[in-house]
Amino acid sequence: GDSVTQTEGPVTVSESESLIINCTYSATSIAYPNLFWYVRYPGEGLQLLLKVITAGQKGSSRGFEATYNKETTSFHLQKASVQESDSAVYYCALGEYSGGSNYKLTFGKGTLLTVTP
Amino acid sequence: GGIITQTPKFLIGQEGQKLTLKCQQNFNHDTMYWYRQDSGKGLRLIYYSITENDLQKGDLSEGYDASREKKSSFSLTVTSAQKNEMAVFLCASSIVRGDTQYFGPGTRLLVL
């Protein structure tokens, strides 16, 4: 079946430093899956950070970027300079159709990021 | 914009008890989902519904029932709570299956 593997947390980074959270995936369908990064800030619900549906494209939001790399089956999340407000749990996810109209979203285990002042 | 509300926020039950979790959305989305998240694991799909009165099983449906009596609400029932069970149940909705999903804040379950 589909699987998503991401950086195992917790990850601690100092404010203004750069960040990369790795995400690699394995998809069973022959078509290219959609790729997502979701984030859960403390006390809030899970929300979409960014998504990319076309291989080779880059998604960006709130200073974060991720590029859909079909050769390496990766979708790493990067930010050049993190802020304390970026402290959250980040989830990489893969979505694809299998068996007709059956669409499935597969999540990684999540990476807890703490940004220190 | 819209919002997804889940009740209760915390749910403590006894072994063998039937427990019901509720979810409401005002996005006017057609598709709704229930996920379970255990500590250190990703989200796993329990049930989803593509329209009112429709129910589809996910990967983890055994031990659960679901109900979609209105477009805006989707309930999940734990048919027989297991002792020492602890998890967060997340409700989500999307315009159609395959579109971006919007999540509620979750219900934390603890079974004594």
Would you call B29 an interface residue with chain A, using a CB distance cutoff of 8 Å? no
Distance from CA of B59 to the nearest CA of A (A): 10
Would you call B40 an interface residue with chain A, using a CB distance cutoff of 8 Å? yes
- How does pLDDT run across B28-49, given as a tens digit for each residue? 999 999 999 998 888 999 999 9
Residue of B nearest to A1 (CA): B59
pLDDT higher than threshold 90 for residue A27: no
Distance from CA of A82 to the nearest CA of B (A): 24
Between CA B33 and CA B83, with CA B7 as vertex, the angle to 5 degrees is 85
Which residues face B19 on adjacent strands? B78
pLDDT higher than threshold 90 for residue B16: yes
Q: Which of A74, A96, A93 is nearest to A29 (CA)?
A: A96
Give the mean pLDDT of chain B. 93
Residue of B nearest to A4 (CA): B42
Question: For the purposes of burial, counting CB atoms within 10 Å of the CB of A40, is it exposed (0-12), middle (13-18) or buried (19 or more)?
Answer: buried
Would you call A9 an interface residue with chain B, using a CB distance cutoff of 8 Å? no
In contact, A6 and A25? CB cutoff 8 Å: no
> Computed over its alpha carbons, how large is the radius of gyration of chain B?
13
Distance from CA of B21 to the nearest CA of A (A): 16
* List of residues 6+ apart from A102 with CB closer than 8 A: none
pLDDT higher than threshold 80 for residue A97: no
CA distances for B85 relative to A108, B11, B42, B106, angstroms: 21, 11, 16, 16
From the list A95, A97, A107, the residue facing B43 with the nearest CB is A107
* List of residues 6+ apart from B62 with CB closer than 8 A: none
Residue of B nearest to A109 (CA): B42
Distance from CA of B19 to the nearest CA of A (A): 22
Question: For the purposes of burial, counting CB atoms within 10 Å of the CB of B104, is it exposed (0-12), middle (13-18) or buried (19 or more)?
Answer: buried
CB contact under 8 A, B97 and A103: yes
From the list A45, A97, A109, the residue facing B42 with the nearest CB is A109
pLDDT higher than threshold 80 for residue A102: no
From the list B42, B92, B97, the residue facing A108 with the nearest CB is B42
The rounded percent of chain A whose pLDDT value lies above 90 is: 78
pLDDT higher than threshold 80 for residue A100: no
